[in-house]
C-alpha cells in the first residue's frame, strides 16, 4: 500500500498529521512514523489507527501525492481494496507498512488520501520531513 512512499529518506524530524483536520468519515485515533528521523537505506514505518462508522464502506480509492523540494510530483490513484480488506466493515483498525527509502536531500511531503466511491473523504494523512 505505502510502497508509493519511496521518496522519504534521512530526516531531521517528521511531522505527520490528519490533513482533513478531523472532518473525514473515518476517525483517526493515531498516526505514527518511525524511526524519526528516517535512516537512509533502512526501513521506515508509517502506522494508522482509525475507526470506521456504521454502516461501513464498499471500498473507494487511495491517492498518493508527493512533493519534493516544494515541486509536486504527479499523484497516483489506485483501488483502496488493494490496501485494505473490502468491504470496509465498521470497527477500529490499526495498520502499518514499511518501506526502504533512497538517498535524497531536501524537503519531502507525502499525502495519502482515501475516498469513497461517491468521493466522500474517508481518511487523509500527510507526512512532512526535511531530508538531509
* pTM given for the model: 0.81
pLDDT of residue 132: 61
In this predicted structure, what is the pLDDT of residue 127?
86
Local confidence pLDDT in tens for the 132 residues of the chain: 433 443 333 335 788 899 999 999 999 999 988 877 767 777 878 898 999 999 989 999 999 998 888 889 889 999 999 989 999 999 999 999 887 666 777 777 889 999 999 999 999 999 887 766
- Report in angstroms the alpha-carbon separations of 7 from 56, 97, 130, 132: 32, 15, 12, 13
Residues 16, 48: contact at Cβ < 8 Å? no
Give the whole-angstrom CA distance, residue 122 versus residue 48: 13
For each of the domains in the chain, give its residue range(s) and CATH number, in order of start: 2-131 (2.70.220.10)
Amino acid at each position: 500500500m505505502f510502497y508509493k512512499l519511496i521518496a522519504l529518506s534521512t530526516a531531521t524530524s517528521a511531522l505527520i498529521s490528519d490533513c482533513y483536520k478531523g472532518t473525514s468519515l473515518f476517525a483517526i485515533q493515531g498516526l505514527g512514523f518511525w524511526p524519526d528521523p528516517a535512516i537512509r537505506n533502512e526501513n521506515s514505518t508509517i502506522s494508522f489507527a482509525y475507526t470506521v462508522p456504521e454502516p461501513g464502506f464498499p471500498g473507494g480509492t487511495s491517492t498518493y501525492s508527493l512533493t519534493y523540494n516544494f515541486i509536486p510530483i504527479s499523484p497516483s490513484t489506485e483501488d483502496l481494496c488493494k490496501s485494505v480488506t473490502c468491504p470496509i466493515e465498521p470497527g477500529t483498525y490499526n495498520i502499518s507498512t514499511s518501506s526502504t527509502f533512497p538517498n535524497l536531500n531536501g524537503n519531502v511531503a507525502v499525502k495519502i488520501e482515501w475516498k469513497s466511491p461517491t468521493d466522500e473523504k474517508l481518511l487523509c494523512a500527510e507526512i512532512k520531513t526535511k531530508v538531509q
